[in-house]
Amino acid sequence: MKTAFFFILLFFVAAQAQTYLNIGSTSTPLSDISKITFSGSDINFYLTNNTVVTKPLSEMTSWTMDASGSGTPLPVELVSFTARIKQGEVILKWSTATEVNNYGFEVQKLKVKSEELRVRNGNERWETVGYVEGSGNSNSPKQYSFADSVTGQGKIYYRLKQIDTDGKFTYSSEVSVNLGAPTSYALRQNYPNPFNPSTTVSYALPEDGKVSIVVYNALGQEVETLVNEYRAAGEYEAVFNARAFSSGFYICRLRGAGFTGSIKMLLIK
Note whether 171 and 190 are same-domain residues. Answer: no
Global model pTM greater than 0.85: no
Q: Are residues 192 and 248 in the same domain?
A: yes
Q: Are residues 212 and 261 in the same domain?
A: yes
194-219 pLDDT per residue, tens: 999 999 999 988 888 999 999 999 99
> Which residues make beta-bridge pairs with 19?
none
Q: Cβ–Cβ contacts within 10 Å for residue 243, how many?
A: 9
pLDDT tens, residue by residue, 204-262: 888 889 999 999 999 999 999 999 999 878 778 899 999 999 999 999 999 998 899 99
pLDDT in tens, 143-173: 999 999 988 777 899 999 999 999 999 999 9
Cα–Cα distances (Å) from 260 to 26, 37, 213, 257, in that order, read 70, 75, 10, 8
Distances (CA, A) of 195 to 250, 267, 268: 11, 5, 6
pLDDT digits (tens, 9 = 90+) for 85-100: 887 889 999 999 889 9
Contact 91, 84 (CB under 8 A): yes
- Domain annotation covers residue 198: yes
- Measured distance CA(216)–CA(249) in Å, rounded: 9
CA dihedral 115, 117, 123, 125 (to 10 degrees): -70
Instruction: Please state, in angstroms and rounded to a whole number, the distance separating the CA atoms of residues 164 and 170.
Output: 9
213 within a domain of the structure (yes/no): yes
**Residue 24 has what pLDDT?**
45
In this structure, the dihedral spanned by the alpha carbons of residues 131, 176, 162 and 96, taken in order and rounded to 10 degrees, is 100
Instruction: Give the per-residue pLDDT at 29.
Output: 65
Average confidence (pLDDT) over 175-201: 89
Same domain, 169 and 199: no
Q: Residues 226, 215: contact at Cβ < 8 Å?
A: yes
Characterize the bridge pairing of strands 209-217 and 222-231. antiparallel
Please state, for a pLDDT cut of 90, what percent of the chain lies above it. Answer: 47
Q: Domain range holding 53? A: 2-66
DSSP state of 188: P
Give the DSSP letter of residue 190.
P
**71 domain-assigned:** no
